[in-house]
C-alpha cells in the first residue's frame, strides 16, 4: 500500500504519561521513514475499556468527537498506537455503521457541539502501518544496525487483534515476527502473544494483575526470549514495572527488557538511544544499555 | 442450611428478554453452553461465576445473581471469548451491559475497586475530556482501599525517576463541547 501524504497522530492519555517512550520512539521511527505526521489538535480521551462500563452512549460520543476532529484536517489516516484507543475508536465506528439509532445519537451530538459529521476516517495502528504502508522489503533495505544474537518474543496484548481491528490475525498473528526478522532480530515462538496482561487490574486487584504478568514473563523465558516486544502502553507498563515485585514473590530472577516495537525498529533504522525513549525502561536496564549502545565497528558489519 | 439452587419463580424473564435487542448481544439465545468462553478467559479461574454460567443465568432471568457477581467486573474486556465463541455471541458486550446496569443500580460488591475506578475515570473524563493516570489511581484508592497506594509507592517512584509519571491535571481546550454528553440517568444504555 502507498503511504498517505500525512498521518494524523492520536496519542491517547498513556502516550503522554507512562507510555511516553512509545510516543518518542514512534515519532522518531516515522521521521526516519520519512513519513509526515501531525498530532490531532485538541483530541480527547478515547474512553478506553472503562467508559463502556458506565455509559455506552457517552463512550461512543467521546470516540466520535475524535473522529470528527480528524475529519476537519486533511488526512484520513488516524494513527492510534495504544491498543485500547485503537479498539475503542474502531468499535465506535462499527456501532455507528451497523446501528442506525447509534448513528443518530452521534449525529445529534456532533451537531450540538458544532462539529462536522463523521466521514470515512481510517483508524490505523503503527504495526500495521509498518507492515502494509512501509513493507518488509523497505524495512530490510533501510536497516543500518542489527541486534545480532538477541532473541525477542513478540507480544500483541489483547485488543489490537480482536474483533474490530485489522492489525493481524486474531488467533495466530505473525506480522510482528516478520517485521522484527526484517530488521535483523531473532524471534522465539511465543504462544501467549495475544493473552491479556490484565490491563488496569494491576492497579485494582493488584495480586491478580501481577499474576497474569508473571505468566507472560515466565513463558517468554521458557521459550528462550531475552526481551519482550510490545505494541501497547499498558502491556509495556505492566510487564516492565512489576518485575521487582514478581522477583520478590517468586524468587525467579526476572530482569527482562520490555521494549516497544517502534524502539526496536527505530534503533535498526539508525535512531538515537534517547530519542527512542530507551532510557525510560524500569526492568532490564543493563541489557538495554548493552544492546543499544553504538559501537563504531558494530555499525559497519551490516 | 440455605438451598443452593434458584427456583424459576425468582427469575425475572422480562429482564432477560431485553438482552437480545442490545448491540452485540443479538446472538445470546444461540449460546450452546459449550464453555469455550470460560476456557479462553484469562481470568475465569478467579471468577465467582464463569462466563458460561453468566450467559445461562442472564437467559433465565436471574438478575441479582449476575449483577452482584465479581465476574462482570473481573472481565478485562480482552475480547478473547468474543473471538473464539463458535456461536458468535458478543460476550464482552454482554459483560459491559451488565456492568452498566450494576453501576446504575449500585449493585456491585462494596468498595470493590474496579467499579470505583470506572466511576472515577468517567467523572474525570467527562469534566476534563482527558484522563490523568495519576489522579484517577489516587481517587480510586481513596474511595476503595487506600492501602493500595502503599503498594504503588515503589512503582510510582520507578515511573518518576524514568520521567513517566505526570501529576498534571490534563484537560482539553474546548471543554464546552463535552456538556452535550448525556447526563447520568437510571436508564441503562
The 10s digit of each residue's pLDDT in A56-66 is 999 999 999 99
Task: Please write the tens of the pLDDT for every residue from B88-117.
Answer: 999 999 999 999 999 999 999 888 999 999
Domain stop point among B81, B104, B127: B104
Q: Are residues B74 and B35 in the same domain?
A: yes
Percent of chain B with pLDDT over 90: 82
Q: In what order do the strands lie in the sheet with A7-9?
A: A37-39, A7-9, A77-79, A122-124
Residue B26 shares a structural domain with residue B64:
yes
Verify whether the Cβ–Cβ distance A49 to B119 is below 8 Å: no
**Are the Cβ atoms of B151 and A14 closer than 8 angstroms?**
no
Of B66, B86, B104, at which residue does a domain stop? B104
Q: How confident is the model at residue A32 (pLDDT cuts 50, 70, 90)?
A: very high
Place of cell 531475552: A226
How many angstroms separate the CA atoms of B56 and B51, rounded? Answer: 9
The model's confidence at residue A259, banded by pLDDT at 50, 70 and 90, is very high
Phi, psi of B119 (to 5 degrees): -65, -45
Find the closest chain A residue to B160 by CA distance: A18
| Nearest-angstrom CA–CA distance, A160 and A236 | 14
DSSP code, position B84: H
| Least CB–CB distance from B129: residue in A20, A44, A52 | A44
Q: Are residues B117 and B100 in the same domain?
A: no
Chain B residues close to A114, C-beta within 8 Å: 177
**CATH number of the domain encompassing residue B48:** 1.10.1060.10
Per-residue pLDDT at A299 exceeds 90: no
How many Å apart are CA A191 and CA A193, to the nearest integer? 6
Asked if residue B98 and residue B29 are part of one domain, the reply reads yes
CA angle A242, A247, A253 (to 5 degrees): 120
Which strand (E) or helix (H) includes residue B51? helix B51-60
> What's residue A75's pLDDT?
87
A297: pLDDT confidence band, cut at 50, 70 and 90? low
What is the domain count for chain B? 2
pLDDT at B8: 80
Q: Let me know if residue B29 belongs to a domain.
A: yes
Provide the domain limits for residue B150. 113-177
Same domain, B87 and B138: no
What is the predicted pLDDT for the residue at B60? Answer: 94
Chain A contacts in chain B segment 4-23 (CB below 8 A): 23
Select A7-124's CATH number: 3.10.20.30, 1.20.1050.140, 2.102.10.10, 3.30.565.10. Answer: 1.20.1050.140
CA distance B47 to chain A (A): 11
- Nearest CA to A62 out of A98, A99, A95 is that of A95
CA-CA distance, B79 to B63, in Å (whole number)? 23
Average pLDDT, chain A: 94
Question: A135-301: which CATH topology?
Answer: Rossmann fold (3.40.50)
B138 and B62 share one domain: no
Mean pLDDT of the region B149-163: 92
Instruction: Please say whether the dihedral angle defined by the alpha carbons of residues A18, A23, A24 and A25, taken in this order, is positive or negative.
Output: positive
Best mutation target among A54, A87, A101, A215 (most B Cβ atoms within 10 Å) is A54
A216: nearest CA partner in chain B: B42
Residue B182: which of A55, A199, A206 has the nearest Cβ?
A55
Inter-residue contact B37 to B81 (CB < 8 Å): yes
Determine what percent of chain A is predicted with pLDDT higher than 90.
89
* Same domain, yes or no: B61 and B147: no
Q: How many CA atoms lie within 13 A of A265 on its CB side?
A: 38
CA distances to A95, B45, B48, B73, B144 from B110, in Å: 33, 22, 16, 12, 8
Of B133, B170, B181, the CB nearest to A58: B181
DSSP one-letter code for B29: G
The pLDDT score that the predictor gives to residue B3 is 81
Across residues A47-56, what is the average pLDDT? Answer: 94
How far apart CA B90 and CA B93 sit, in angstroms, is: 5
Note whether residue B83 is domain-resident. Answer: yes
What confidence score (pLDDT) does residue A164 get? 87
Dihedrals phi, psi of A8, to nearest 5 degrees? -95, 135
Q: Chain A: nearest CA to B4, how far in angstroms?
A: 28
Residue A110 three-state SS: helix
At A2 the pLDDT is 80
Non-local (6+) Cβ contacts of A291 within 8 A are A147, A150, A257
Q: Does residue B184 surpass a pLDDT of 80?
A: no
Domain match, B92 and B117 both = no
Output phi, psi for A173, to 5 deg. -70, 140
On whether residue B185 sits in a domain, the answer given is: no
Residue B184 lies in a domain: no
Per-residue pLDDT of B20-38, as tens digits, reads 999 999 999 999 999 999 9
Kindly state whether residue B187 falls inside one of the protein's structural domains: no
CA distance B52 to chain A (A): 19
Residue B5: what pLDDT?
A: 76
Q: According to the 3-state scheme, what is the secondary structure of A208-250?
A: HHHHHHHHHHHHHHHCCCCEEEECCHHHHHHHHHCHHHHHHHH
Examine the domain organization and report whether B67 and B146 are in the same domain: no
More confident: A163 or A240: A240
The answer to whether A199 touches A239, Cβ cutoff 8 Å, is: no
Asked whether residue B87 falls in the same domain as residue B124, the answer is no
pLDDT of residue A171: 87
Q: In the predicted model, is pLDDT for residue A302 greater than 60?
A: no
Residue A204 with chain B: CB contacts under 8 Å: 113-114, 117, 140, 144
Domain ranges of chain A: 7-124, 135-301
**B66, part of any domain:** yes
* Boundary residue ending a domain (B74, B104, B134): B104
Identify whether the C-beta of residue A104 lies closer than 8 Å to the C-beta of residue A262: no
Give the residue carrying C-alpha cell 521487582: A244
- Nearest CA to CA, how far is B59 from chain A (Å)? 20
Under the banding of pLDDT at 50, 70 and 90, the label for residue B82 is: very high
Residues B142 and B77 in one domain: no
Instruction: Report the pLDDT value the prediction gives residue A294, as an integer from 0 to 100.
Output: 78
Alpha carbon B72 to its chain's center? 5
pTM for the model stands at 0.95
The pLDDT tens digits of the residues spanning A203-234 come to 999 999 999 999 999 999 999 999 999 999 99
Q: Residue A104 and residue A21: Cα distance in Å, rounded?
A: 39
Task: Kindly state whether residue B183 falls inside one of the protein's structural domains.
Answer: no
* B76 close to A (CB below 8 A): yes
Nearest to B23 by CA among A7, A242, A52: A52
The residue that leads in pLDDT, A205 or A297, is A205
Q: Which of B93, B125, B143, B160 to mutate to test the interface with A (most CBs of A within 10 A)?
A: B125
Q: Above 90 in pLDDT, residue B149?
A: no
Assigned domain for B138 exists: yes
Mean pLDDT of A41-68: 95
SS3 at position A138:
helix
Q: Are B115 and B99 in contact (CB under 8 A)?
A: yes
Indicate if B83 and B123 belong to the same structural domain.
no
pLDDT of residue B186: 65
Amino acid at each position: 500500500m502507498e503511504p498517505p501524504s500525512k498521518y494524523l497522530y492520536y496519542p491517547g492519555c498513556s502516550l503522554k504519561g507512562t507510555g511516553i517512550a512509545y510516543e518518542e520512539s514512534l515519532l522518531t521511527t516515522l521521521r526516519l521513514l520519512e513519513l509526515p505526521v501531525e498530532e490531532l489538535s485538541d483530541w480527547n480521551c478515547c474512553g478506553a475499556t472503562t467508559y463502556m462500563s458506565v455509559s455506552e452512549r457517552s463512550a461512543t460520543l467521546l470516540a466520535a468527537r475524535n473522529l470528527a476532529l480528524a475529519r476537519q484536517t486533511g488526512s484520513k489516516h488516524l494513527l492510534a498506537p495504544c491498543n485500547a484507543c485503537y479498539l475503542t475508536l474502531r468499535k465506535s465506528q462499527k456501532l455507528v455503521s451497523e446501528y442506525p439509532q447509534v448513528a443518530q445519537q452521534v449525529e445529534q451530538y456532533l451537531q450540538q457541539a458544532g462539529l462536522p459529521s463523521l466521514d470515512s476516517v481510517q483508524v490505523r495502528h503503527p504495526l500495521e502501518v509498518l507492515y502494509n504502508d512501509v513493507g518488509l522489503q523497505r524495512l530490510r533495505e533501510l536497516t543500518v544496525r542489527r541486534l545480532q544474537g538477541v532473541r525477542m518474543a513478540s507480544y500483541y496484548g489483547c485488543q489490537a487483534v480482536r474483533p474490530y481491528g485489522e492489525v493481524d490475525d486474531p488467533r495466530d498473528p505473525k506480522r510482528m515476527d516478520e517485521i522484527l526478522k526484517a530488521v535483523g532480530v531473532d524471534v522465539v515462538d511465543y504462544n501467549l502473544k495475544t493473552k491479556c496482561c490484565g490491563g488496569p487490574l494491576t492497579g485494582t486487584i493488584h495480586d491478580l494483575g501481577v499474576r497474569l504478568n508473571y505468566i507472560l514473563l515466565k513463558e517468554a523465558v521458557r521459550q528462550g526470549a531475552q526481551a519482550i516486544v510490545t505494541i501497547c502502553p499498558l502491556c509495556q507498563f505492566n510487564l516492565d514495572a512489576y518485575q521487582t515485585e514478581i522477583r520478590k514473590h517468586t524468587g525467579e530472577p526476572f530482569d527482562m527488557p520490555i521494549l516497544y516495537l517502534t524502539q526496536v525498529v527505530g534503533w535498526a533504522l539508525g535512531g538515537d538511544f534517547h530519542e527512542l525513549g530507551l532510557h525510560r525502561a524500569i526492568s532490564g536496564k543493563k541489557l538495554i544499555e548493552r544492546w543499544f549502545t553504538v559501537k563504531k565497528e558494530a555499525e559497519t558489519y551490516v | 442450611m440455605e438451598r443452593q439452587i434458584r427456583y424459576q419463580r425468582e427469575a425475572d424473564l422480562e429482564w432477560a428478554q431485553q438482552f437480545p435487542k442490545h448491540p452485540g448481544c443479538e446472538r445470546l439465545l444461540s449460546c450452546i453452553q459449550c464453555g469455550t468462553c470460560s476456557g479462553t478467559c484469562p481470568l475465569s479461574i478467579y471468577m465467582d461465576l464463569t462466563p458460561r454460567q453468566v450467559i445461562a443465568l442472564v437467559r433465565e432471568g436471574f438478575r441479582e445473581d449476575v449483577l452482584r457477581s465479581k465476574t462482570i467486573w473481573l472481565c478485562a474486556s480482552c475480547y478473547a471469548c468474543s473471538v473464539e465463541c463458535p456461536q458468535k455471541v458478543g460476550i464482552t458486550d454482554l459483560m459491559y451491559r451488565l456492568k452498566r446496569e450494576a453501576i446504575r443500580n449500585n449493585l456491585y460488591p462494596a468498595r470493590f475497586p474496579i467499579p470505583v475506578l470506572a466511576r472515577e475515570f468517567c467523572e474525570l473524563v467527562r469534566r476534563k475530556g482527558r484522563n490523568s493516570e495519576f489522579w484517577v489511581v489516587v481517587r480510586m484508592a481513596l474511595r476503595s482501599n487506600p492501602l493500595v497506594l502503599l503498594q504503588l509507592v515503589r512503582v510510582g517512584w520507578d515511573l518518576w525517576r524514568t520521567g513517566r509519571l505526570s501529576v498534571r491535571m490534563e484537560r482539553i481546550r474546548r471543554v464546552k463541547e463535552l456538556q452535550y454528553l448525556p447526563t447520568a440517568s437510571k436508564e441503562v444504555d
